[in-house]
Amino acid sequence: MKALKVLFSTAFIAFGLSVFAAQGPVIIDENFQSFKEQGWKNDTLCNYKKIDSKASFSVDKTYKGNNVKFEFTKAAVTPTCETKKTPAKAGVSNGYVEVAKKDGSLVISEQAYISTIDVSASAAGDGRGFALYKSVKGGDWVKVGEYIGNKSEGADAQYGFTNTITINESNVSLKFAPTMGATKEGPALQNFRIHDIKAYGK
C-alpha cells in the first residue's frame, strides 16, 4: 500500500509538472483590484456606472519582472464591483474593466511569448461576451475568437464565465473588443467586463 501511495504521488507530481511545462510560467496575473477607479462619467452604485465616452488612459504593471502596459479606450476600471448577479461563477473576481460597445477596447502590450491565457468576464445581460484579437510584431489585428456567456449553455454572463484561450505566439499583443450580444431587439454590440487575466509564457 505504501509503495502504491508513493507511485500515485510521483505520478501526480509528474502530471503537474507536465501541465506547467505545457502552459509555461505565469507572466501576467491581474484581477484589477489594485487599479485606481477611473474612466467613469458618474460616481454611482455598481451596475449603474456609465463609461466616459472620452476615456483613454494606460496603466503600467510589472509581474515578476515582466513589464506590461494596459491601454484603455472607451473603457473604465472599478476595483471592487461584483458581477451583475451574485454569487459570481468560480474563478470570477470582484473588480473589472468595462469596455464600451462602441469602439471600446482593452489592449495588452507586446509580450515575448504567450502560450495560453485564462480570462474571466461578465456582462449586464445573458448571451453576451467579448472578442479577442492578436497582433504579432505590430502587424494587423487578427481575431482569435469570440467568447460568450450563455445561460442555455450553462454560463449566464451576468454571473460571469471563464475561458482558457490558446495563443502560442511570440512578440504578441492582445486586444479585447466588443462582439455581438443578445438583446430584446436581436443581436447587437454590447458592453462587456473583464475580471481576471492570467497569461502564460515560456
pLDDT higher for 109 or 2? Answer: 109
pLDDT at 113 over 60: yes
Domain 25-200 falls under CATH 2.60.120.260: yes
Confidence of residue 3 (pLDDT cuts 50, 70, 90): low
The residue with cell 456609465 is 50
List strand residue ranges (DSSP E) for 96-139, in order: 96-99, 105-122, 128-136
Q: Summarize pLDDT for 20-67 with one digit per residue, the tens.
A: 446 899 999 999 999 999 999 998 999 999 999 999 999 999 999 999
Sort strands 128-136 and 56-63 into parallel, antiparallel or unpaired.
unpaired
Q: Summarize pLDDT for 176-201 with one digit per residue, the tens.
A: 999 999 888 889 999 999 999 999 99
Q: Determine the length of the chain.
A: 202
pLDDT at 115: 98
The pTM score is 0.89
d(CA 109, CA 57): 13
pLDDT at 14 over 50: no
In the structure grid, which three cell numbers stand for residue 108, read together? 495588452
